[in-house]
Structure 1
Amino acid sequence: MMGQATVQDQLFYAFNLEDHVPRDHLLRGVDRFLDLGELRQHLAPLYSHTGRPSIDPELMIRMLVIGYCMGIRSERRLCEEVHLNLAYRWFCRLGLEDRVPDHSTFSKNRHGRFRQSDAFRFVFETVLRRCMSEGLVQGEGFAIDASIIKADANRAGKASSSEVAHWRQEAQCSRAVREYLEALETANLVADDATEAMHDANAVPRHISPTDPAAYWTAASGGPAFYAYSTNYLIDLSAGIIVDVEATPAHRTQEVESTRTMIDRVEQRLDLKPQRLVGDTAYGTAPLLGWLVQNKQIEPHVPVWDKTARKDGSLSISEFQWAPERNEHVCPEGHALRNDRRQFATPRTHITKAGTVIFRASQADCARCARKEHCCPNTQMRKIARSVHEESRDVARSIALTPAYSQSRKQRKKVEVLFAHLKRIMKLDRLRLRGLSGARDEFLLAATAQNLRRMAKWLMPSAADAQLKVE
């Protein structure tokens, strides 16, 4: 006999969400380590004491954490998933009959209270302190790296300098454009006569997106160029916990400079200062090495950015001996290269704009030298540009010869694994929000989710392993 399901209304239901969430679900591990008890106090000054009650900020943060942990990029879809998924409702502290906030609520709060109070960084540092209390952050060694993320901008779009000049005169312009113009003024790139400054070719980049002007035009990935930002990670090498994150345009100089910002911020806010910093060749510039060694006393486990080796077979700088007691270089033939062969009435530092000091050989010594054709065949005398941070560069070179350096090179892969996870699992290969502030919000939330997942993996392995099998 064929059975048939019948629907019968019940007057009372006994339903407990806790019983319907699997014990090995990833969100159970995340919920264990996510404590937002201080969030309301942090946001309290931005809320009125009268009027209708607002949406609970903890609810919105928990929903965003779900989105980034589970790779749900659309906030509209996130609201639908929280409405339907029992585990998501349980994590957000919502009952079966509780309403899910509208997706527009996230945008209003993000551009208002959350951004004004830097709430996303507050949540990130709250999770990071929990990682520290759980013993996952040792503070002995940090690694630094950057990854390019596509901006929400059409690669075919391009604005000219004249168009940028008119942006300031428009009554209505997008939030991303307003932030870009404010950043120009802050950096003193806009003169008193704004129109004249905007027409200057140096005032704006050659390629600028009309929808997201702060995004940088780059072809660093090796394919067609596109507008992008860079997410810069500073991680602890013990368990791969992200200790800081910074958003910058996808430009190598700004990526390298963000290292100073993050190291200083971690030291000031969390009292963490590493003994060694691991990075690739991009972070081996002379100014950064000098700052690490002289200012911060941090060992740079970084390859030195060195372009002094010659490819024409002539003598390289490494073949000239440095004599610090005489402040001169000595060539293989024993002749001195000095930086003070001319006497000036006013003493000079001899430091160029590039941060180097030029050492020159005597023209007479080079003229009668038998090895001139192998040393300076195209000039009358040999010149050497020595960096003012050369001693710090020598420290990095000596560290590169140690076994500890070889181990650091292997540990550096942990940050690359995080970037692969960011793009493959969390699906953050293209931003949804525009402007540098939008990129900062997304990168902070993504790093928070990664730290939460890492704690769940290390401290509750059954929950994380089960989720990884699903993925």
Structure 2
Amino acid sequence: MLAQQVEIRRMMGERTVMQEALFYSFRIEDHVPGDHLLRAIDRFVDLAGIREHLKPFYSAMGRPSIDPELMIRMLIVGYCMGIRSERRLCEEVHLNLAYRWFCRLDLDGAVPDHSTFSKNRHGRFRDSDLLRKLFETTVERCMVEGLVGAEGFAVDASLIRADVHRQRSVPGEEGLPPDVAGRAVAEYLDVLDDAAFGGATPVTPKRINLTDPASRWTAATRGSAFYAYSTNYLIDLDHAIIVDVEATTAIRQAEVLAQRRMIERTQDRFGLWPAKLVADTAYGSAPNLAWLVEDRGIEPHIPVFDKSARRDDTFERSAFTFDHEDDSYTCPGGNRLRPSNRNFSTPRSRVNADGFIRYRAREKDCGACPLKQRCTPKLAARKIMRSVHEGARDLARDIATSDAYLVSRRQRKKVEMLFAHLKRILKLDRLRLRGPNGAKDEFHLAAAAQNLRKLAKMKPIVGLAPA
């Protein structure tokens, strides 16, 4: 009878109760799949100099600290695998063999507490600019692997929601109340003179959030307005490698400033001088085009930001021909428009505060012109505004008629695809850290993770399919 019961249990597949063994022969290395993403990424992670870089920020007294390389590897796991919560990251590293292997932890290795990350992020990591250095090491490795051509760059910005309550705010014209406090508020006050985050921007915010004042109230998307930061990417067009990243408040002026900073930093840090820059109309202002063409020698494959179009079927500015030698426009009726039709004894500045010169026709010429109703039906004489940087604008217009510009329009989608990957795959559609420094930390780590994933895809392990 007993033998029959045992046989029935065996046939039913009943398992025996697990018993602890005295000894195990176990290697984590043997249990990590050869085609696992982290195995492919691990080849390109070099943290050899991290301890030397952080050495000045550690005290020679007190209890031993957590190995900084372990925490950086855990952060890489979190951002590469889309694990946004530090508490959940610690749990996953504790349970997942592949994560333990990547973090160089054996089976009985202790996983740091999630609070340790907060202390180091707001302390040593931030003071030493470690996460910026980590991102730059990924760019250097991409250059070594031949993934950066530096012939053309693209730039764009994307909105990332801030971790704030939208109702805890005050009208922008009232300013920040003096009694609010917090780490994010202190960081905002430290960057008030920086147009990327603070009050140096000429745009007065509609509302100021009391939890994270550097975030900006924006209605740029089709949904309801929200508080956000902008992550700005400068990418190489060959393989969509992120060569620089910058965090700013969510306004166009700050994004244009970030573009200049990233180009300058990339040239100084890596010696990369692109022949062209691809961007959308937000970067097509006259001063920015002039900076690219005259100061940096970069071809602007950018639509010109131009408001000269008319809705009343009258002649647009494109119908007027500019004469460089005579410094005048010729209208469709053959008359001249000049900056001044009188000679003054005291020379006057022809450039207004916005950097434009007004060209006017003579009233008697317009009054006798048969095309007046199609040119200036409401004014006595036609006027045209010309930027002092019109040469750069004309160059951008000429480039926009070329076949190379059509190719650039298609290539610009690469940076948009990176933003889609950032939000959908890496789950960075909302920040978890607050303040300008929190946004910088998150954007640097996310960009580093995207470069590492691109390296793993473009340089697969020999004998295996791309990760």
- What TM-score, normalized by structure 1, do the two folds share? 0.92
Aligned partner of 1:141 in structure 2 is 152
Alignment of structure 1 residues 218-297 onto 2, 5 Å: 218-297=218-297
The answer on 1:342 being equivalent to 2:314 is: no
**Partner SS state of residue 23, structure 2:** coil
2:118 alignment partner AA: S
Cα deviation for residue 53 of structure 1 reads: 1.8
**Partner SS state of residue 353, structure 1:** coil
Cα deviation for residue 157 of structure 1 reads: 2.6
Cα deviation for residue 213 of structure 1 reads: 0.9
What CA distance in whole angstroms lies between the structure 1 residues aligned with 2:287 and 2:152? 21
Cα deviation for residue 462 of structure 1 reads: 8.4
What CA distance in whole angstroms lies between the structure 1 residues aligned with 2:199 and 2:394? 40
The answer on 1:63 being equivalent to 2:71 is: no
CA deviations over 1:112-151 (Å, ceiling 9, x no partner): 1111111111000011100000000010000111111111
| CA pair 186-447 structure 1, distance change in 2 beyond 3 A | closer
2:387 alignment partner AA: S
**Partner SS state of residue 322, structure 1:** strand
Q: How many residues align?
A: 454
Over the residues paired in the alignment, what is the CA RMSD in angstroms? 2.1
Question: Could you tell me which of 120, 123, 130 is aligned with 1:109?
Answer: 120
The answer on 1:458 being equivalent to 2:458 is: yes
CA deviations over 1:426-468 (Å, ceiling 9, x no partner): 111111111111111111100000000000001017899676x
Cα deviation for residue 205 of structure 1 reads: 2.3
1:433 alignment partner AA: L
**Partner SS state of residue 108, structure 2:** coil
Alignment of structure 1 residues 298-309 onto 2, 5 Å: 298-309=298-309
Task: Decide whether the 8 Å contact of 2:176 with 2:210 is kept in 1.
Answer: no
- Tell which deviates more after alignment, 239-248 or 345-354: 345-354
Aligned partner of 2:374 in structure 1 is 374
The answer on 1:75 being equivalent to 2:86 is: yes
**Partner SS state of residue 158, structure 2:** strand
Aligned partner of 2:21 in structure 1 is 10
Question: Could you tell me which of 182, 187, 195 is aligned with 1:174?
Answer: 182
Task: Decide whether the 8 Å contact of 2:176 with 2:208 is kept in 1.
Answer: no
CA deviations over 1:367-420 (Å, ceiling 9, x no partner): 111111111111111111001111111111111111111111111111111111
1:259 alignment partner AA: Q
Question: Could you tell me which of 38, 48, 53 is aligned with 1:27?
Answer: 38
Aligned partner of 1:196 in structure 2 is none
Aligned partner of 2:314 in structure 1 is 314
**Partner SS state of residue 433, structure 1:** coil
| CA pair 466-321 structure 1, distance change in 2 beyond 3 A | closer
Cα deviation for residue 204 of structure 1 reads: 5.6
**Partner SS state of residue 243, structure 2:** strand
CA deviations over 1:70-91 (Å, ceiling 9, x no partner): 1101000000000000100010
Cα deviation for residue 181 of structure 1 reads: 2.0
Question: Could you tell me which of 16, 41, 66 is aligned with 2:52?
Answer: 41
Cα deviation for residue 163 of structure 1 reads: 7.3
Aligned partner of 1:198 in structure 2 is none
Aligned partner of 2:440 in structure 1 is 440
Cα deviation for residue 189 of structure 1 reads: 8.1
2:319 alignment partner AA: E
**Any unmatched runs of 5+ in structure 2?**
1-6
Task: Decide whether the 8 Å contact of 1:155 with 1:225 is kept in 2.
Answer: no
| CA pair 155-165 structure 1, distance change in 2 beyond 3 A | closer
Aligned partner of 1:197 in structure 2 is none
Cα deviation for residue 5 of structure 1 reads: 1.2
Aligned partner of 1:91 in structure 2 is 102
What CA distance in whole angstroms lies between the structure 2 residues aligned with 1:49 and 1:345? 75
**Partner SS state of residue 272, structure 2:** coil
| CA pair 272-162 structure 1, distance change in 2 beyond 3 A | closer
**Any unmatched runs of 5+ in structure 1?**
192-201
Task: Decide whether the 8 Å contact of 1:36 with 1:58 is kept in 2.
Answer: yes
Cα deviation for residue 177 of structure 1 reads: 1.0
**Partner SS state of residue 348, structure 1:** coil
State percent identity of aligned pairs.
58
CA deviations over 1:146-181 (Å, ceiling 9, x no partner): 1111111122332246975533x56xx111111122
Task: Decide whether the 8 Å contact of 1:29 with 1:464 is kept in 2.
Answer: no
Larger Rg: 2
The answer on 1:211 being equivalent to 2:211 is: yes
1:407 alignment partner AA: V
1:232 alignment partner AA: N
What CA distance in whole angstroms lies between the structure 1 residues aligned with 2:429 and 2:176? 32
Cα deviation for residue 9 of structure 1 reads: 2.9
2:274 alignment partner AA: P
